[in-house]
Amino acid sequence: MTQSPITDSHCHLDFPDFDAERDDIVARALAAGVTRMVTICTKLRNEPAVRAIAETYAPVFYAAGTHPMSVADEPLASVDELVSLAQHPKFVGIGETGLDYHYTADSKEAQQTSLRVHIAAARDTRLPLIIHARDADDDMAQILTEEYRNGPYTCVMHCFSSSAALAKAALDLDFYLSMSGIAAFPKSQDLRDIFASAPVERILVETDSPYLAPPPFRGRRNEPAYTAHTAAVGADIFGLDYADFAARTNANFDRLFWKAVA
């Protein structure tokens, strides 16, 4: 795999899947040309451990929020709490937050409240909002658009695998779509078509590791080094060579995640 520099905009290096070999995971990422990683805290009580990982590894930055699937079991975050965490020099984004009605529709009202709190923190800090969306496209588009009218903010639709309508709603707000290993799955042609219709200037790449490993690693534990395999598919989608696609998505990352720019 080529060594052109690229960024894994979303991974979970604090998960126990990586405990035994975190040094090696970061080393393999760098060897694959993945020069930056954003590790995501999904429960604020875990923020100290996620922060420690970012402090340990120079290429690793972090973000924190309450994942929508955890909202029912976690205290509601406050804007002040998120803004305070964002003072750390390696804290680069707010979230992940969002809406997930697939397994946790019973907490939809609490999820919507939590999402609005995170949006307010993103607006206050000027840091990008990191959105998880599943089976909630209409409510997601409505809340993101409504809140944007209350005051602009920046946002990435992480691991985007939703409808063309939600993609359009996000792109109409100048948000970004992040491409995960799902885009490389053989049966994901409809998703690849959605990405192909988006401006390349609004595309990021990620692993969401340890989940969603792209071919040829599908079914195994994912890791940041595999960003390069998803990016190779992204380059094909946009008709670019790998180095050009890597450079463009890196520039997009720099524009959105401005605190992670060296």
* Structural domains of the chain in order of their starting residue, each with its CATH number: 6-260 (3.20.20.140)
Would you state the pLDDT for residue 262? Answer: 63
Would you state the pLDDT for residue 113? Answer: 98
- Rounded Cα distance between 206 and 226, Å, is 9
- Rounded Cα distance between 224 and 154, Å, is 24
- Rounded Cα distance between 162 and 194, Å, is 9
How remote is the C-alpha of 72 from its chain's centroid? 22
Please say if the pLDDT value at position 2 is more than 70. Answer: no
Would you state the pLDDT for residue 208? Answer: 98
Q: Is the whole-model pTM more than 0.95?
A: yes
Strand partners, 183: none
- Rounded Cα distance between 259 and 262, Å, is 8
Please state the rounded mean pLDDT for residues 118-135: 98
Give the percent of the chain with pLDDT over 90: 98
- Rounded Cα distance between 122 and 151, Å, is 10
pLDDT tens readout for residues 101-118: 999 999 999 999 999 999
Name, in order, each residue with C-beta under 8 angstroms of 54's C-beta and a sequence gap of 6 or more.
Answer: 39, 60, 61, 62, 90, 91
Helices and strands in the chain: count of H runs, count of E runs? 9, 8
Helix 227-238 with 189-196: angle, nearest 10 deg: 60
- Rounded Cα distance between 206 and 48, Å, is 23
